[in-house]
Amino acid sequence: MEAISLYELNLHIRSAIDRSFPEPQLITAEIASCDVKKHCYLTLVDKEDETVRAEIRAVIWANRYKAISKIFEEATGTQISKGIKILFEAEISFHERYGLKLNILNIDPSYTIGEMAVKRKAVLERLSKEGLIKKNKELVFPLVPQRIGIISSSTAAGYEDLMTHLVNNPYGYKFRCRVYEAIMQGDNADASIVNALNQCSSDALNLDIVVIVRGGGGQVDLHCFDSYDIGKSIALLPLPVISGIGHQRDITVVDEVSSRTAKTPTAVADMIITHVKDFEDRLDALNYYMVHGTYKLSTEMEGELSSLVKALEVATGNELLNNFHSLNLYVKGIKYSLKLLQNKRHQLKAGESNIHFLNPRNVLKRGYSITYNNGTAVRAISDIKQGDSLKTVLYDGEVTSRVEGKKKIRRKA
């Protein structure tokens, strides 16, 4: 057999491949590595149960990469990056010196969207099966979320937005924020966010809630927010989480697992501020009902008190007691007046019953009688003498009688 040169061999291979694949081919594969220099160099793999059964190098030339990546990111909300599955159209090219390489001409984002959805669904099902999916939602959301753990990259625009809104809230509420730095995109994001969540967990006693906000700006790498590990860490966190990872598409695993979700970091800030405002409104309402109730109670006793209650209303309503001591005075004033009124009321009540008893008819009813001698009521023994004819008036009649005898009783004074 005659020997051929390596070059001749590679020319044969090239022509064999060209004959086998005269047209571009549609292929599905997972990106194992992605390196964007001028061109985008990829390693593509095909896995069966996590074992790589096929691998090949691929390239997206710079002139196509810009358009392809833009369309892809807009449609999927994620970058062309490691771990993503793609369906693409490629030329199978073999170069005598550089070997076999796929030249990617187009990527169909809808396949990746579907794959991500499948993966997300699987993660959600697993979290659900493990009883984790609702855990964070079931935590009691604090009345006043004032101490906030922020998981973000502190240099990111989204973090700035959140802080600016919290600090400049129109009601003057004070929030105590602590940042837990994390990488919010790329290969290391997963572990970094889990680590930040663990730190929040250790600080749980000093925090009311945890907020996860993404960098913002043009970055669109949502891939990591579908991670099982992050989902599990959120589920096991003893603090409610608000996710504000800012995207318009399907919700991510992080959104599903978090206690609450907002579209943007600014919306997260608004959600928190509104929550605190709701609490303050409740305080104001209670204050109103208390003042009103006190007013009602006291006006029932006497109208004279209303001015004092109004003073209380002014003191509690607007400035909410600028001066605690002056409130004390008001309260004492009211207390004193109410006491006085209550005493008066008691006296009045007692007076009323006296009047009732003093009505002669009522006295007669109870068994007493009035005796008249010549039309004058008999008050003392000296008013009568033996043989007098007396008229005795009872409750329901009169008796006439004659005096047969009398006896004076000496009473002690």
**Which range in 3-11, 77-85, 227-235, 286-294 contacts another protein by CB under 8 A?**
286-294
411 binds another protein (CB under 8 A): no
Per-residue contact string for residues 226-265; x = within reach of another protein by CB under 8 A: ----------------------------------------
Residues 119-158 binding another protein (CB under 8 A) are: 142-144, 146
CB of 89 within 8 A of CB of 105? yes
Of these, 112, 136, 266, 294, which contacts another protein (CB under 8 A)? Answer: 294
The CA-based angle 386-388-391, given to 5 degrees, is 135
Per-residue contact string for residues 155-184; x = within reach of another protein by CB under 8 A: ----------------xxxx-x--------
Of these, 10, 316, 371, 392, which contacts another protein (CB under 8 A)? Answer: 316
Q: How far is CA 74 from the centre of its chain?
A: 31
Show the tokens assigned to 189: 């994001």
94 binds another protein (CB under 8 A): no
3-state SS of 297-320 is HHHHHCHHHHHHHHHHHHHHHCCC
State the CB neighbour count (10 A cutoff) for residue 6: 9
Show the tokens assigned to 289: 């009902």
Residues 346-385 binding another protein (CB under 8 A) are: none
Of these, 56, 327, 370, 393, which contacts another protein (CB under 8 A)? Answer: 327
Beta-strand relationship, 241-244 and 209-213: parallel
Question: Residue 49 or residue 300: which is nearer to another protein going by CB?
Answer: 300
CB of 146 to another protein, least distance (A): 7
Show the tokens assigned to 393: 């008036």
CB of 141 to another protein, least distance (A): 11
Of these, 87, 271, 321, 390, which contacts another protein (CB under 8 A)? Answer: 321
Per-residue contact string for residues 329-348; x = within reach of another protein by CB under 8 A: --xx-xx--xx--x------
CB of 266 within 8 A of CB of 234? no
DSSP secondary structure letter of residue 14: H
310 vs 76: CA distance, rounded Å: 62
296 vs 312: CA distance, rounded Å: 13
Of these, 141, 279, 372, 395, which contacts another protein (CB under 8 A)? Answer: 279
282 binds another protein (CB under 8 A): yes
Structure-token match 């006043």, residue found: 144
Identify the H or E element spanning 372: strand 370-373
CB of 211 to another protein, least distance (A): 19
- Say how many residues touch another protein, by CB under 8 A: 38
CB of 54 within 8 A of CB of 45? yes
303 vs 301: CA distance, rounded Å: 7
66 binds another protein (CB under 8 A): no
Give the three-class secondary structure for 410: coil
61 binds another protein (CB under 8 A): no
* Site for another protein, rule CB under 8 A: 142-144, 146, 171-174, 176, 276, 279-280, 282-283, 286-287, 289-290, 293-294, 296-297, 300, 312, 316, 320-321, 324-325, 327-328, 331-332, 334-335, 338-339, 342
